[in-house]
Homo-oligomer: A and B are copies of this chain.
Amino acid sequence: MPTGETHNRRTGGRTRSQDAHHAVLTAAIELVEEIGYQAVTIERIAARADVAKSTIYRWWKSKAVLVMDAYRTAVEQRMPEPDTGSLAGDLTAFATALYGVSEHSLRMRTLRGLMAEAQLDPAFADHFREWVESRRAVVLALLDRGVRRGELPPTADLEAATDQFFGLFWYRLLVGHQPLDPSQAPAHVDQLLHGLGTGHGR
């Protein structure tokens, strides 16, 4: 359960209310959807969830970790870990799913808010970075498999490639100067792989 870290339970004590817990996550998601991340406050979440503020503070350290928890619990798409047989296929599948967030304003708002918070709250930055790393790891693994298959030269800088991959996504998401559409995924992947010296083209 990736959610509001369960405390060390030694012995007795009232058990954590699943109702309250769930109501908080739901309220958080709804509010982000309705009024946007920055307008969401712990107080509003508490009011909406019909829960005491102190109950929220007991389990979540800040609005950011709460919203992130809610996002992962209730919204986040299971990121595929594709296995199409080819590196290009795998990456394209992943990118297509990734770019799909642009079609869900809730997801966009949440991601943008969380990234913003990570800049402003160093404590949350650590938490956020861990999550980002977990998603980078998926792409890194795909690329690594490509190397092992001989689709990429062993000298390719996979870290940089991963950051190019996610960087494009986040940059467009955060700046909003260009649309981001799943249909663009194949072209972007193609460009990326050429950069890495893949044998499949040119």
Contact = CB atoms under 8 A, between A and B. Distances in A.
Interface string A189-202: 00111111100001
A115 B118 CA distance: 11
B117 A177 contact: no
Interface in A165-199: 166-172, 174-178, 184, 187-188, 191-197
Contacts of A23: none
Give the number of copies in the complex: 4
Interface of A: 37-38, 112-113, 115-121, 125, 128-129, 132-133, 136, 157, 159-161, 163-164, 166-172, 174-178, 184, 187-188, 191-197, 202
A195 B200 CA distance: 12
Contacts of A177: 129, 132-133, 136
Contacts of A194: 194-197
Contact of A164 (B159, B168, B176): B168
Given A170-B171, A171-B166, A202-B197, A176 B125 contact: yes
A129 B167 CA distance: 17
A107 to B, nearest CB: 14
B164 A174 contact: no
B167 A171 contact: yes
Contacts of A38: 119-121
B187 A159 contact: no
A118 B175 CA distance: 8
